[in-house]
Structure formats: C-alpha cells, structure tokens
C-alpha cells in the first residue's frame, strides 16, 4: 500500500530503489556495577575496544580509494582525534575506577555527558557535531561487544533507511552504489550532509515516521528536492518520477553550461556570487565555477578538529593555501567564531553560562582571549603576501568592538613589518550582521568597515525568537516574515547609500527559491556553498527586476 513520509532535504536529488532498513543502534545499556576485583578487567576491555575502533578507522582509510578518499579523509581524521582525545579515555577510565561501572555503561554515561554539552550549543552547525560523538561512541561500543560494523555489500541500487549515517559509512555506501539515504535523525548542517552534497547523493534527514513504517524491500521513491519519500509508489508516482528524472538530467546539462556564464539578470543587473568554504575541495570547486571570491572562510575548523590550539604558523599555512587556491581572487577570512562550550576541545574553556546563545562567543570570545586572537590575526595578515585578503568579524553588536579589532590589526601589522615578514595590501575589515542590534544600528558600524556580510541563519532566529534547529519551530523561521524583510531591506539600503559592499552568507543566499526575493530587496552579492552556485546563477539569469 502506498505511503508517503516527509523529511528535510540535506542533499538534493531524485532516486528510486528497494529499501534496505537498518535498525537503530542505541546505547540503551542497563546500569551495571562491578566488584572491586573486576575493575581492572573492565578497564582492559575498554582499552581494547578503543584500540579496535582506531584500527577499524585506519583500515577504512586504506580501503577508501578514488575521488572520495580526500573528501572522507577529514571526517575519518576527526573521528580518530575524538578517539585519541585524552579527556574521552580519562573520563571513561574514571567512571570505571571510581564508579565501578561496567565498560558498556561507562560508555553510555560518557556519551550522555558529551551529548548534553553539544545540545547546549546555540550554533546549529556546531550543535550538529553531536552526531560525530554518537558515531565514535557507537563504534567503540560495537568493538566492545565484538559486533561487526555495518556491511554495505549487496546494497547497489538500494535506498538505505536508518536512524543516522556517519560520513565514513556514507563514503563506503557511495562506492557500493547506494542510490539514496533516508534517516530518522540528522541535520542538513551535519558532516554527512556536507559530504552527501559533494558526492551528489540524495539524502533526506529527519524522516522520523519513515524509519518506523518502511519495511525492508519496499519500493521507494526519494525526492530530496521536496523532502518526500514514497513507499510502494503507484502508477502516477512512477510517471511523475520519470518526468522529474528527465527534467533533472536536462537541468544538470543546462546548469553545466553556466559554469563560466555571466551572472546577470534579464534586465542587466550584475550580480556577484561568492563561495562559502571550509576545505580545499570547496576552494577548488569555487574557482572552477568562476566564483567572484571566497565570501566566508570558516576558521573554527582549525580549532575544533584538534585537542590543542593551532599555532600561528599552522594557521598561516592554511590561510596561505586558501589564498593561493583562489588564484588572485579576494578571500574573506572570518575570525574565530566559537563561544561558550563550543571551545572546550581547544583549551578555551569557559565557565558554564546560563545562556550560551547570548554569551561569550564570536568576537566577544576573541577579545576575551587577546593572545589567541593576536595569533590568528598575525597568521591572516601574513597571508596577504599571496593575494587579496579581507577580515570578517563575527557576532558584532556595537562599534567599539570594531574599533578594538582595528587597533589590534594595526598593532599586528606593525609587529610583522618590524620582524621582516612579507606582507601585501592591508586587508579590508568587515562585520557579520547577525545580531539584531547590529542590523538596527548599522549606521554606527559602517564608518569602521568597508564591507559587511549578513548571517541570515542567526539573524532570522534571533529576530523571531525561534530556534531554527528545533523541528517544532521550523515553520516560524521564515525569511519572508515582515520583520525579516524589513530588517534585510534596511541593511541593504543603508550599505548601498554609504557605498559599502554587503553580501548575504547564510543558507538563504544559496537557496534559488529566495534569489529573486533578495534581489528585489537590493542585494547583489551572494555567498554560498559552491554546490549551490549554478542553481543560483540560473535563478539570477531568469529574473527580470524591471
């Protein structure tokens, strides 16, 4: 019997195949205490399980070949670093020694502790990193109980239906010919979603009911454009799928011809498309699609994927390679955008905050740790020797923060000149407009910057007091709300009158459904994931603002 379920499109696309259902893997471990003479045995079991999980990741890296090897490598590295994190091992060991818990129950307690930390993070992207904790702890638990890792053999042409998917699994599934994935949980901002988009594999997340009601072997149609999965489709569904599939192929061929096309509306308005980047592959793809430059480079990844703070030299090398990779086009580097418990793994540990969403984060955190901020700014300034660099300050709320940042940049520049470092053109300074106060008082910020970038992800949820990561509130976070429309229009107008460049770098910029909406509000600079660039370019070229 035909059934239809909905979810969130994390990686767009169409697919049809038989369902392969994987039952949820949960750590529903009952509490068990061990005798004093059993403690050492449990500690040894856990050490062996951690070692087995590490070996499994190393073996997976050896097996993954071809174009996706580099894509999945950074995710495998992150999981390996989580396994090697002393806090994880020491926390587990302490639970067994002092609490006399079994190794399995200690894993559950530690997972719950870490999950609580990530659940308290305000930023939706960073909050979605909780999935990595679940995947790593699940791998150790499987090793502890000698459970085999999920096999992917025989899945060619099938749709995997599961509770969640790890990036490393997704890479294997892609190689084995899985045509799409439907998950009961997950986020469009997760590592898996990022990788799925790079691999052009349709991924539907948050399809809670699908996991409960789809059976192994059901025929499925996955429409990850509209967030729909149909089980046991009827004749009309099949005809609709074939029509949509043919249209998708025509659309891909049509979009491919726009790689080097001008981004201009029908009535002659020139638009610039910038790329958001976080990896070398993003940079390479942006250049191949003729991006105007990098509109947002997220530097927090250099801090999050390690247990210690990166040195100035390490950061410099990363920023240098970024600038060189864009072959002379401008690169916008956002300074460290961490805060509250987001910074635990880097050593920037803060006391618990009652409301981390409104706490010490972004530029506030940087100014509270001037040594860390100085190292990052020096690394960014040294990269100016290799091309045009712009500095973007996140979470700005008033002009004094920008004045202080400018003073620190000037001091760092003078220091570097005195030390004999090669430097290029002084970087332009910009502000992220994501706090309502910054948007409403934009006139006070503009004298201190040469450009600004609107972070619509945070701005919209702050304006509407609705967490966009909360499924129950998703419909409230509409960019077409009159308040959002008014604020965006005012920011664009004020910047235009002041002769300052303004871009949107949030998810809204990469959604072709809102391209005309933003153009009519006065926006001409869009910054987005490279995978969205051709679709937005087409939307611009189809628009007639006259």
* Residues annotated catalytic, as ranges: 191, 505
* DSSP designation for 270: B
| Tokens linked to 304 | 């999050």
Question: Which residues, including other chains, have CB under 8 Å from residue 239's CB and lie 6 or more apart?
Answer: none
Hey, which residues does 451 pair with through a beta bridge? 430, 501
Instruction: Supply the angle between the helices 280-288 and 312-325 in degrees, to the nearest 10.
Output: 20
State the Cα–Cα distance between residues 148 and 157, nearest whole angstrom.
Answer: 23
DSSP state of 415: H
Q: How far is CA 135 from the centre of its chain?
A: 17
Nearby residues of 162 by Cβ (< 8 Å), 6 or more positions away: 21, 22, 24, 181, 182, 183, 184, 211
**How would you write 215-261 as a 3-class SS string?**
CCCCEEEEECCCCEEEECCCHHHHHHHHHHHHHHHHHHHHHHCCCCC
Do 385 and 422 meet the contact criterion of CB atoms below 8 Å apart? Answer: yes
Structure-block tokens of residue 27: 């750590």
Question: Taking a C-beta distance cutoff of 8 angstroms, is the pair 229, 509 a contact?
Answer: no
Query: What is the Cβ-side half-sphere exposure of residue 458, based on CA atoms within 13 angstroms?
Result: 26
* Number of helices and strands in the chain (H, E): 22, 16
Q: Which of 543, 458, 453 lies closest to 505 in space, CA to CA?
A: 453
């Amino acid at each position: 019997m035909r059934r239809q379920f909905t979810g969130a499109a994390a990686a767009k696309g169409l697919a049809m195949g038989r369902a392969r259902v994987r039952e949820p893997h949960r750590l529903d471990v009952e509490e068990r205490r061990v005798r004093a003479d059993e403690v050492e045995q449990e500690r040894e079991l856990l050490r062996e399980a951690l070692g087995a999980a590490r070996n499994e990741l190393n073996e997976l890296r050896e097996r993954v070949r071809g174009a996706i090897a580099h894509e999945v490598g950074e995710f495998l590295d992150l999981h390996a670093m989580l396994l090697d994190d002393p806090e994880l091992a020491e926390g587990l060991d302490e639970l067994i020694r002092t609490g006399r818990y079994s190794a399995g129950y200690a894993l559950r307690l530690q997972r719950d502790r870490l999950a609580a930390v990530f659940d308290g993070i305000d930023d939706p992207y960073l909050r979605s990193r909780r999935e990595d904790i679940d995947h790593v702890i699940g791998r150790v638990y499987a090793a502890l109980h000698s459970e085999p890792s999920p096999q992917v053999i025989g899945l060619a042409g099938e749709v995997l239906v599961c509770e969640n998917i790890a990036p490393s699994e997704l890479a294997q599934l892609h190689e084995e010919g899985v045509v799409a994935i439907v998950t009961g949980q997950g986020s469009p901002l997760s590592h898996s979603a990022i990788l799925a988009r790079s691999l052009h594999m349709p991924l539907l997340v948050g399809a809670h009911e699908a996991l409960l009601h789809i059976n192994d072997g059901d025929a499925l149609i996955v429409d990850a454009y509209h967030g729909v999965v149909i089980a046991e489709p009827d004749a009309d569904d099949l005809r609709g799928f074939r029509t949509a599939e043919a249209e998708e192929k025509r659309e891909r061929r049509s979009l491919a011809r726009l790689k080097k096309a001008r981004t201009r509306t029908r009535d002659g308005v020139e638009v610039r498309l910038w790329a958001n980047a976080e990896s070398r592959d993003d940079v390479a793809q942006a250049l191949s699609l003729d991006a105007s430059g990098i509109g947002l480079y997220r530097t927090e990844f250099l801090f999050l994927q390690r247990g210690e703070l990166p040195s100035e030299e390490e950061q410099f090398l990363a920023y240098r390679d970024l600038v060189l990779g864009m072959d002379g086009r401008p690169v916008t580097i956002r300074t460290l955008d961490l805060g509250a418990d987001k910074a635990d793994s880097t050593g920037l540990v803060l006391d618990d905050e009652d409301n981390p969403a409104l706490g010490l984060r972004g530029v506030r955190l940087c100014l509270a740790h001037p040594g860390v901020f100085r190292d990052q700014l020096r690394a960014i300034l040294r990269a100016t020797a290799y091309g045009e660099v712009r500095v973007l300050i996140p979470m700005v709320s008033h002009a004094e923060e920008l004045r202080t940042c400018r003073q620190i940049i000037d001091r760092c520049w003078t220091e570097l000149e005195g030390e004999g470092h090669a430097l290029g053109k002084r970087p332009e300074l910009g502000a992220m407009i994501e706090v309502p106060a910054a948007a409403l008082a934009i006139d006070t910020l503009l004298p201190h910057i040469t450009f600004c970038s609107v972070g619509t992800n945070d701005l919209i949820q702050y304006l509407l007091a609705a967490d966009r990561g909360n499924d129950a509130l998703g419909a409230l976070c509409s960019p077409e709300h009159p308040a959002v429309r008014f604020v965006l229009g005012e920011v664009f107008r004020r910047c235009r009158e002041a002769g300052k460049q303004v871009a949107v770098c949030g998810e809204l910029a990469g959604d072709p459904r809102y391209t005309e909406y933003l153009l009519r509000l006065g926006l001409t600079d869009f910054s987005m994931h490279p995978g969205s660039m051709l679709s937005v370019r087409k939307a611009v070229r189809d628009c007639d603002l006259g």
